[in-house]
Amino acid sequence: MINFDNPKNQKTILITGAAGFIGAALSIKLIDKDFNIIGIDNLNNYYSVDLKLKRLNLIKDKNNNKNLWHFHEFSLENAKELNDLFNIYNPNIVINLAAQAGVRYSLENPLSYVNSNILGFLNVLEACRKYKVEHLIYASSSSVYGGNKQMPFSERNSVDHPISLYAATKKSNELMAHSYSHLFDINTTGLRFFTVYGPYGRPDMAPMIFAKAILENEEIRVFNNGDMSRDFTYIDDVIEIIYRCCLKVATKNDNFNHFDPDPSESFAPYKVFNVGSNNPISLMNFIEILENALGKKAQKIFMPMQPGDVHNTFSDISKLQDWIKYTPQTSFEDGIKRFAEWYKNYFDYSS
Ligand SMILES: NC(=O)c1ccc[n+]([C@@H]2O[C@H](COP(=O)([O-])OP(=O)(O)OC[C@H]3O[C@@H](n4cnc5c(N)ncnc54)[C@H](O)[C@@H]3O)[C@@H](O)[C@H]2O)c1
């Protein structure tokens, strides 16, 4: 039985995308647990670089001269620099969160997705192979479920019908990870995140876009006339899940059924999990909860569906619950309240 509260044998963990929303929160948690953290990020300007720098400052504050935090600014596409870093630090665990994220932007700038998510991830896999990393955890996404209609989404479902290039790159990551798990015995865990939100979140996602518009008396665009839903997952729950996955290495399934294969398991040391709340919130309900938390009404304009977006997401998390003995703890109302408080403070809307 793993003791998640007091892990023994502190290891070196390399986190890519460490200045990102999830990467920064994870770095803080793992420094708090006394792990030695190597952060990589290219600080690209897909969204506010200032926000990324602020997150890095929070990590530095948490480190507080304990010498557990080492940050390096470069792109994963730079295989030489990545190799040099592995050579210096020899990480035990690698957590790949760096990616070109966002569904809608993948229609405008497809090449950045192939560069960061495919070439960048290949470089990570190659380095893990060469330096014999104990465990590679990587970010996948609920968007891999694409055109699936069967709810809730289970890891047993087929994910062969992506409806955006972003989703296709995330599904590709799972396939690439499987081949490396099989060929080179690398333990890999893929995490399909479902709409992560909270303080220091991403400005290209609905909570931040809507909060800004509501507080500045601007209209919010409500896509598909409000007929959509998302399984939102609070950042603290996501971080606890990644942390627990760190301590529990992906294993081979010795009872793997080759004649009825479960896509999320394997004869190789490979696992894939949904990371969600198992609680879809309709778009209209989300807006109402956000209005209440901000203390202000939204001006809505109703719009058609956006290309690339999925209608609904809803995670079956039973497999993850079995694996790490954890269930997300934060209700959507509480999570949005904490997000709204942070947002007003951070952007100085308090008066
Ligand atoms: N936030 C969500 O709701 C969500 C949902 C599903 C999947 N994901 C995935 O989780 C991961 C983390 O997401 P996030 O919300 O923290 O995103 P984020 O954009 O805030 O973080 C990603 C970080 O990676 C960096 N980066 C991007 N490309 C890079 C490259 N080629 N080399 C080095 N650094 C690079 C960026 O500068 C950024 O700081 C991503 O892989 C994303 O696709 C997130």
pLDDT digits (tens, 9 = 90+) for 12-54: 999 999 999 999 999 999 999 999 999 999 999 999 999 999 9
Q: How far apart are CA 211 and CA 195, in angstroms?
A: 16
Residue nearest to atom 38 of ligand 1 (CA): 20
The rounded Å distance from CA 259 to ligand 1 centre is 36
| Residue 30 DSSP SS3 | helix
Ligand 1, closest atom to CA 196? 3
The answer to whether 107 and 164 are in contact (CB under 8 A) is yes
164-167 contact pairs (CB < 8 A, 24+): 164/103, 164/106, 164/107, 164/308, 164/309, 165/106, 165/107, 165/110, 165/113, 166/100, 166/101, 166/102, 166/103, 166/105, 166/106, 166/113, 166/117, 166/141, 166/308, 167/103, 167/141, 167/143
Q: Where are the beta strands (DSSP E) in the chain?
A: 12-16, 36-41, 69-73, 93-96, 135-141, 188-193, 196-197, 219-222, 229-230, 233-234, 270-275, 281-282, 299-302
Would you give the distance in Å from CA 259 to the centre of its chain?
32
Report the b/e string of 99-130 with b at 16+ CB within 10 A.
bbbbbebbeeebebbbbbbbebbbbbbbbbee
Q: Which two tokens stand for residue 295?
A: 């203390």
Q: How far apart are CA 217 and CA 314, in angstroms?
A: 31
Token digits of residue 104: 């809608």
Structure tokens at 111: 């090449």
DSSP for 206-252, written as a single string: HHHHHHHHHHTT-EEEEGGGG--EE--EEHHHHHHHHHHHHHS----
Q: Whose CA is nearest to atom 18 of ligand 1?
A: 20
Residues with CB under 6 A from ligand 1: 17, 19-23, 40-44, 52, 75-77, 97-101, 116, 120, 139, 141, 193, 195-196, 202
Q: What is the pLDDT of residue 116?
A: 98
Q: What is the pLDDT of residues 61-75, one digit of tens each?
A: 999 988 999 999 999
Choose one of 142, 196, 235 to mutate for the ligand 1 pocket test, by most ligand atoms within 8 angstroms of C-beta.
196
In 10 A of CB 12, how many CB atoms?
16
Pick from 297, 283, 285, 292: nearest CA to 214: 297
Nearest to 244 by CA among 202, 198, 189: 189
The pLDDT value recorded for residue 17 is 98
* Catalytic status, residue 166: yes
> What is the per-residue pLDDT for 1?
65
Structural domains present in the chain: 12-195+235-277+315-328 (3.40.50.720)
Helix, strand, coil percentages, rounded to 5, for the chain: 40, 15, 40
Name the β-bridge partners of 13.
Answer: 37, 93
Pairing relation of β-strands 93-96 and 299-302? unpaired
* Options 166, 200, 234, 270, the catalytic residue: 166
Minimum-distance ligand 1 atom for the alpha carbon of 116: 31
| CA 116 to ligand 1 center in whole angstroms | 10
Using the atom order of ligand 1, give the atom closest to the CA of residue 43. Answer: 37
Ligand 1 pocket, mutate which of 47, 159, 191, 202 (most atoms under 8 A from CB):
202
Q: How would you write the pLDDT of the chain (351 residues) with one tens digit per residue?
A: 666 666 666 799 999 999 999 999 999 999 999 999 999 999 999 999 999 999 999 999 999 988 999 999 999 999 999 999 999 999 999 999 999 999 889 999 999 999 999 999 999 999 999 999 999 999 999 999 998 999 999 999 999 999 999 999 999 999 999 999 999 999 999 999 999 999 999 999 999 999 999 999 999 999 999 999 999 999 999 999 999 999 999 999 999 999 999 999 999 999 999 999 999 999 999 999 999 999 999 999 999 998 888 899 999 999 999 999 999 999 999 999 999 999 999 999 976
Answer for the pair 102, 166: CB distance below 8 angstroms, yes or no: yes
Q: Whose CA is nearest to atom 30 of ligand 1?
A: 75
pLDDT at 65: 83
Residue 118 amino acid letter: I
Q: Whose CA is nearest to atom 44 of ligand 1?
A: 193
The atom of ligand 1 lying closest to the CA of 77 is: 31
The alpha carbon of 351 and the centre of ligand 1 are apart by a number of angstroms equal to: 33
Q: How many angstroms separate the alpha carbon of residue 17 from the centre of ligand 1?
A: 6
Separation of first and last alpha carbons in the chain: 50
CA of 193 from ligand 1 middle (Å) equals 11
C-beta neighbour count of 300 within 10 angstroms: 17
The rounded Å distance from CA 20 to ligand 1 centre is 6
